[in-house]
Structures are given as structure tokens and as C-alpha cells.
Structure 1
């Protein structure tokens, strides 16, 4: 269907100071809807934080780069740094994220996803959406805390 992503993933642009490894389904829209109704929330957040870039860590990463870039507003496209590799049918997304981060010398990152089963338990770099419809103000508050403090948790009430 789409070309394979190589074992190291793809680097399109050098990442910025902080990186969000982004899942699409259950984050940018409800699972399997492909409506991207929550993308404006994320893009609004990114416009306030120029130090953050995006790496696609979604099954959508298999789509051609131009299709992926078209999903985002023109001013946000330059913030797309690439996509993670698939390490195997049963690999954990946390492994894929860590591999990309290590190979591209990224230290300050989080994985924003909807499925906790894709990550190691208690992994400090994950932010799992709580709403069935995707990204919410709750996760945006967590992202804001991370953007300002390089930590997802600590001192925030739900």
C-alpha cells in the first residue's frame, strides 16, 4: 500500500529543542474516524511553543510524506521532523520512540497517544489521551506543563 519506513525511521528536518511523538487515532480524532477534528487544538498549542517539533509515531507514518504534511496547517508543516520506524509487528511504540530519539539526539520528548498498551508501564515519556474523542484540555494542560518544565507531572491537579 505505502512504502515501508526504514529501520531507523525518517528524518525530514532537524528536530527542535522538544519533540512530541504523535499518534493520530484517538488523539487527533476518535479511533478510526480520520476526521482530525482535534488537530486545531494541537496546532494552537504548537503556535504558542516554537521550541516544539512533531515526529509522527502513528500507523499513519506509512503514508507518503506529502499526504502527511497536507494534514497540517502550512505554518505547522515546518515543525514536522519525521516519523518513527516500525520495529516489528509486536514492538512497543515506546521502543520505536526511544530509538528515533536516540539516533537523532533528542533528550526532551513525550509520546502523545491513545493506547497505553503500546508503551512500557509507568514510562515517564507517555501522555495518554483520556477522552474517547481525542485530545482534550486535560492533555493540553499536561503538555503546557511539559513545555515549561520538561516534566509531564508534578504539581498539577486533574
Structure 2
């Protein structure tokens, strides 16, 4: 039996450059569409946007091919070492066992090395290299 695949999705530095002057929000999201349409992983929002907008509003803001796969968001912010990683671990404690990856540019919020982090460049957002890494993980059994 295969474990469920979960993607913990950050927005800034992933779906668009961190400083997206001149670029619209989610300008890089379309790169994920083919992967998500073919392989339909479950998505958990780990972005700090979860602190200002509720899940329903975030789902309306995101492209449909992403919002239709969202099952939740990580919980309260964690202060201390590797906060995003700890937030994911806290989520998984209540969710249960899953094979997961984090699409994130904030590598310092994860232990080094973290084999579950697909690290994006904050200046560009997600690019072909991360899509390739994501697809390899999604298609493996």
C-alpha cells in the first residue's frame, strides 16, 4: 500500500518571487498545473498567508487546479529552531502517516539537510529544476 502524498506549499518565493514587483501573485503557479492534474497530490498550505486569510479565502485566491487539492493548512506559528519544519511535524501528528514534501524557499526553517524540502529560489519562485524533483517524487510508488 502506498502512503498518501502531501505537499506543504509555501506561496512567497514559490508561487511567485518573494518581491514580485511587476509580477502578479501566483505568476509561477502554472508550472505546477501539469504535475498536479496528472498526479493529484493533497496540498496543505504552510505559507504565512494562512495567518491573514482563512482557508476559504486562500482557496478562492489560488488557481483552481491548486485550490481543488487543498485539504488544510498548518496550524499555529512555531518560534524556535526550524519553525516551518516543526509546524509540518505538528500537522502530521494529527493527520497521520504520509509521504510528504515541502515546496519552500525558506530553507533555514528546515533542518540541514532536509531531504523532504524542495528548495525554491526566492528571487524567481519555482522553476524547472524543482518541477523535475517534484515529479520524480510524485511518480515513484
Count of residues in Structure 1 that have an aligned counterpart in Structure 2: 134
* C-alpha distance in 2 between matches for 1:32 and 1:130: 12
Say if 2:15 is the partner of 1:28: yes
Structure 1 stretches of 4+ with a deviation exceeding 6 A read none
Residue equivalent to 1:54: 43
More helix per residue: 1 or 2? 2
**Where in structure 2 are the equivalents of 1:51-90 lying within 5 Å?**
52-62=41-51, 63-90=53-80
Q: TM-score, normalised by structure 1?
A: 0.76
Q: TM-score, normalised by structure 2?
A: 0.85
Judge conservation of contact 2:6–2:44 (CA < 8 Å) in 1.
yes
Ranges in structure 1 where 5+ consecutive residues have no aligned partner: 1-15, 151-158
* C-alpha distance in 1 between matches for 2:71 and 2:58: 12
Corresponding residue to 1:102 among 80, 84, 93: 93
Judge conservation of contact 1:113–1:128 (CA < 8 Å) in 2.
yes
Matched position secondary structure for 1:98:
helix
* C-alpha distance in 2 between matches for 1:132 and 1:119: 19
Q: Alpha-carbon deviations, 1:66-104, whole Å to 9, x = none? A: 220012333442310100013434451001111112210
By relative contact order (CA 8 Å, sep 6+), the higher-ranking structure is 2
**Where in structure 2 are the equivalents of 1:141-152 lying within 5 Å?**
141-149=132-140
Say if 2:111 is the partner of 1:124: no
Matched position secondary structure for 2:6:
strand
Please provide the CA RMSD for this pair: 2.0
Change (3 A) 1:116 1:76: closer
Say if 2:92 is the partner of 1:114: no
Ranges in structure 2 where 5+ consecutive residues have no aligned partner: none
Judge conservation of contact 2:45–2:72 (CA < 8 Å) in 1.
yes
